[in-house]
Amino acid sequence: MTQRASSLLLAFFAALGLAASATATWVHYNLIRNPEATSFCDVSARVSCKQAYLSQYGTFAGAPVALWGACFFAFVLLLLWGARRSPRLSENAPGYIFGLSTIGLAFVLYLAYASFFVLKEICPLCVTTYLAVIGLFVASGSGNTASMPTVAGRALRDLGALVASPIALIVAILFAGGVASAVAWFPRPEERPVVAPQPLTDDQKEDLEHWWNVQPRVTLPISNDGAKVLLVKFSDYQCPGCRATYFAYEPLLAKYKDRPQDFKYVLQHFPLSAECNPAVKAVVHPASCTAAAAVVMAESKGTAAKLNDWLFLHQDQLSPARVRDAAKDVGGIPDFNAGLTNAMAEVRREGTLGGDLHVDQTPTFFLNGRRIAPAVTPEAMDFLIGLELKNSK
């Protein structure tokens, strides 16, 4: 292969990798800012970017893997640009790229294993960057004429030449500064914007307590397992309000997670579909029955929480077929039809209970037998839980 052909191939794979990594970085950014965001690469339960980016494999040294990838490919392009201006660098650049792509290849093989076999998800943008790294490895290896043991010495000489060149030094400083700024600027998952808690005023607490004290109480045929407070939620996976409260109440439920003597939370399925819910007369949400049945089956696998997350994160794209795919790939349910009859019977039982309790919208909560619908803010719910705990003493 001629040097020109090798350079063109290297430039092509570096540009391809940069485009894919930059796009992936943008998608990752949107997911951190909004966990409900979707992208063009979310094709199915198996083919999607979301889980890979939000997992532990999506970041490295505090920054997205995609961002590090963009920096890597940009650096390769910078080397190729410098090689066109310097005969010495032109001779050495393939060796440098080969060394870098060897490290990169080991890294992407690890990521590919995590994606395909651990997460069991295919991320189209990730696969594109894997192919770009492999392309760089092959093209630089075939175009490299330098002995690898001599590359380190050549790199030191080229660094000396870089410092002696004002233009090259400025470009290098700008690149290093850009990388550092991008890594520092990129938001961390813990910086995900949330609605700031709005503490209740004394007047609001007084009004809420007065309202609560006059609410009728019903007996629920659900065990509290000895807890002082039982919170029951009737929910539908295609209900926007159910998704909103699912995310909004996460900190509240986490607060009481390790206090079983005080608090118990129970999810009851109430799909807005006559297909599986005797209390509903029409099919409002066509994928809700399949979703509820999938979660019931996932409970025995220990994957219900993971599947819950996936269903609400992908609520806008749910269909019976996509739910079945997710049940297999996310919930670990190999034969959906095998457990469907029993799962649907459980969903119908919970729907019947909701009908007996006159549930007519989702989400509907029952806190120690008192109905809360529509849902209240997490701060208001926390206050009401506190009232029930106080009254139980």
CATH of the domain at 106: 1.20.1440.130
The model's pLDDT over 108-124, given as tens digits with 9 standing for 90+, comes to 999 888 888 877 778 89
Residues 175 and 310 placed together within one structural domain of the fold: no
pLDDT digits (tens, 9 = 90+) for 273-287: 999 999 999 999 999
Mean pLDDT of the chain: 85
The reply to whether 24 and 169 lie within a common domain is: yes
- Domain span at residue 224 reads 202-391
Residues 40 and 169 in one domain: yes
Identify the domain boundary among 166, 191, 216.
191
Answer with the one of 156, 191, 226 that is the final residue of a domain: 191
Judgement on whether residues 91 and 156 belong to the same structural domain of the protein? yes
User: Within this chain, do residues 174 and 242 fall inside the same structural domain, yes or no?
Assistant: no
Is residue 386, in this structure, part of any structural domain at all?
A: yes
The confidence band for 193, taking pLDDT boundaries of 50, 70 and 90, is: very low
pLDDT of 171 reads 72
Residue 153 lies in a domain: yes
Residue 134 tokens, joined: 């492999």
Residues 154 and 241 in one domain: no
Q: Is residue 219 domain-resident?
A: yes
pLDDT score recorded for residue 143: 67
- CA 275 – CA 291 distance, rounded (Å): 12
Question: Are residues 165 and 23 part of one domain?
Answer: yes
Answer yes or no: is 65 within a domain. yes
Residue 128 has pLDDT above 90, yes or no: yes
Position 192 pLDDT exceeds 50: no
393 class by beta-carbon count within 10 Å (0-12 exposed, 13-18 middle, 19+ buried): exposed
Tell whether the model's pLDDT for residue 60 goes beyond 90. no
Query: Does residue 166 sit in the same domain as residue 220?
Result: no
**Structural domains in the chain (count):** 2
pLDDT at 168 over 70: no
Domain membership flag for residue 196: no
Q: How confident is the model at residue 194 (pLDDT cuts 50, 70, 90)?
A: very low
Contact 230, 224 (CB under 8 A): yes
The structure's pTM equals 0.58
Residues 226 and 94 in one domain: no
Q: Which CATH number does the domain housing residue 379 bear?
A: 3.40.30.10
131 and 174 together in one domain: yes
Residue 216 lies in a domain: yes
For residue 81, is it within any domain? yes
pLDDT band at 327 (very low <50, low <70, confident <90, very high): very high
Buried b (16+ CB within 10 A) or exposed e, 305-343: ebbbbbbbbbbeebeeebbbbbbbbbbebeebeebbeeb
Please tell me whether residues 212 and 173 are part of one structural domain: no
Does residue 197 lie within any of the structural domains?
no
Q: List the single range of 48-52, 213-217, 255-259 with lowest mean pLDDT.
A: 48-52
Q: Within this chain, do residues 250 and 308 fall inside the same structural domain, yes or no? A: yes
- Greater confidence (147 vs 252) lies with 252
- pLDDT value, residue 37: 63
**pLDDT band for position 217 (50/70/90)?**
very high
Q: Is the CB of residue 272 less than 8 Å from the CB of residue 288?
A: yes
Q: What percent of the chain has pLDDT over 90?
A: 52
Residue 190 has pLDDT above 60, yes or no: no
